[in-house]
Amino acid sequence: MKTVNVTYFKPSGKYYTQETVELPEGVCGYDALFHELPKHHRIKGMFMLVQNSEPAGEEKEPYIVPHLFHPKEVSAE
């Protein structure tokens, strides 16, 4: 399993909370960002910042390029 840090921010930009998400080992960075991680966007009305959980080494490329997910639309059903 690969782990990434997920940080949630309120729409105003204020920090809300941080958690760690585990992703399957065989998932590449692109698939993790655009297929796997949106499934873990559990606080739908907040921004979700995704980053590597391991410290970046000088010669090591990040597993996940930092990415900011915008809040998902919450339907009024």
User: Chunked in runs of 10, what are the mean pLDDT values of the chain (77 residues)?
Assistant: 90 94 83 84 89 66 81 61
Please, which residues bridge with residue 51 across strands?
5
Range of the domain at 37: 2-69
| d(C-alpha 13, C-alpha 28), whole Å | 29
**52-70: per-residue pLDDT in tens?**
887 655 555 667 888 898 8
Residues 77, 16: Cα–Cα separation, whole Å: 26
In sequence order, what DSSP letters do the residues of 2-70 get, joined into one string? EEEEEEEE-TTS-EEEEEEEEE-TT--HHHIIIIIGGGG--STTSEEEEEESSPPPSS---SS--EEEP
Domain-embedded: residue 74: no
pLDDT computed for residue 10 by the predictor = 93
77 occurs within a structural domain: no
Total tally of structural domains belonging to the chain: 1
75 within a domain of the structure (yes/no): no
